[in-house]
């Protein structure tokens, strides 16, 4: 079960991420409407938790655009209690549910369960690149017969690389997406995980390797067989 959180208040966003984590939801967090829309359009999420008041594009705009593009992912809108925005507006735009801040974590979880149940599961089960297959629900990475289990962070790092194949993913991005924006994770954390992943690629005998772009980041590369 994958959840996208779009919320510009970093503190709240991280808190939500924390809650999701504790309940075993894989979570991505972005901090503005534009990124939110782009991430949502990737179609990999089972639920999208969307703040209304956002930089770049409001939550309303995001849902509307999402629906226009025929994306049916369940959307839960968040709004501050004193914002004079109308619940009806949100639902008209195509949102599935609506909740005012502040709220209890339990309520959030309940609503997420509710709207995700409503949908028939149409989630992609795995990501692939060259000879590698990353199972998104079991966290197993396999190549042919062999298979290894990835830890949560290994998984997240690889997932991001596989979702952006052929693009260089900046270390910064990995840090903010895997460790969270206000973490004090250091570059070496990322490096350590890249190292772990390389070891596992090697173990699997994959032709895929992780290329380093110095001072920038990493990208997947499919070496010749």
Partner DNA sequence: AAGCCGTTTCAGACTAATTTCAGCTTTCTT
Partner DNA sequence: AAGAAAGCTGAAATTAGTCTGAAACGGCTT
User: Residues interacting with DNA, by CB under 7 A?
Assistant: 149, 151-154, 171, 179, 185-189, 191-195, 198-199, 212, 214-216
Q: Report in angstroms how near the CB of residue 56 gets to a second copy at its nearest.
A: 7
Q: How far is the CB of 185 from DNA (least distance, A)?
A: 6
Q: By the 8 A CB rule, do 96 and 75 touch?
A: yes
Tokens 């690629």, residue located = 201
Q: Is 31 in the site for a second copy (CB under 8 A)?
A: yes
Q: Please, what's the b/e burial string for 33-65 (b: 16 or more CB within 10 A of its CB; e: otherwise)?
A: bbbbbebbeeebbbbbbbbbbbeebbbbbbbbb
How far apart (Å, rounded) are the C-alpha atoms in residues 51 and 60?
Answer: 9
Interface segment toward a second copy; rule CB under 8 A; list 15-23, 136-144, 186-194, 196-204: 136-144
Counting Cα atoms < 13 Å in the Cβ hemisphere of 205 gives 6
Euclidean distance between CA atoms 33 and 61, whole angstroms = 8
Which two three-digit tokens encode residue 119?
A: 């949908």
**With CB cut-offs between 5 and 8 Å by kind, which of a second copy, DNA, none does residue 195 bind?**
DNA
Specify the residue, 81 or 214, whose C-beta has the smaller distance to DNA. 214
Per-residue x/- track, 79-98, a second copy (CB under 8 A)? --------xx--x----xxx
Rounded distance between C-alpha atoms, residue 164 and residue 55, angstroms: 24
Give the binding site for a second copy (CB under 8 A).
10, 31-32, 34-35, 53, 55-56, 87-88, 91, 96-98, 106-107, 110, 113-114, 117-118, 137-139, 149, 151-152, 167-168, 170, 172, 176, 181-182, 213-216, 219
């Amino acid at each position: 079960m994958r959840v996208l959180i779009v919320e510009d208040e970093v503190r709240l966003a991280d808190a939500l991420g924390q809650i999701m984590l504790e309940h075993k939801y894989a979570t991505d967090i972005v901090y503005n409407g534009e990124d939110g829309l782009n991430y949502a359009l990737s179609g990999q999420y089972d639920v999208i938790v969307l703040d209304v008041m956002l930089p770049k594009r409001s939550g309303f705009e995001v849902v509307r655009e999402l629906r226009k593009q025929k994306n049916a992912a369940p959307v839960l809108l968040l709004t501050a209690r004193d914002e004079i925005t109308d619940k009806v507006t949100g639902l008209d735009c195509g949102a599935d549910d609506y909740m005012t801040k502040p709220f209890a974590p339990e309520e959030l979880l309940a609503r997420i369960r509710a709207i995700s149940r409503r949908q028939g599961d149409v989630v992609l089960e795995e990501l692939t690149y060259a000879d590698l297959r990353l199972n998104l629900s079991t966290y197993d990475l396999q190549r042919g017969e062999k298979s290894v289990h990835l830890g949560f962070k290994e998984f997240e790092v690889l997932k991001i690389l596989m979702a952006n194949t052929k693009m260089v993913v900046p270390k910064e991005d990995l840090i903010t997406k895997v460790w969270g924006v206000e973490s004090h994770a250091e570059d070496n954390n990322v490096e350590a995980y890249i190292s772990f992943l390389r070891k596992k690629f090697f173990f699997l005998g994959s032709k895929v390797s992780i290329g380093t772009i110095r001072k920038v980041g990493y990208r997947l590369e499919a070496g010749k067989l």
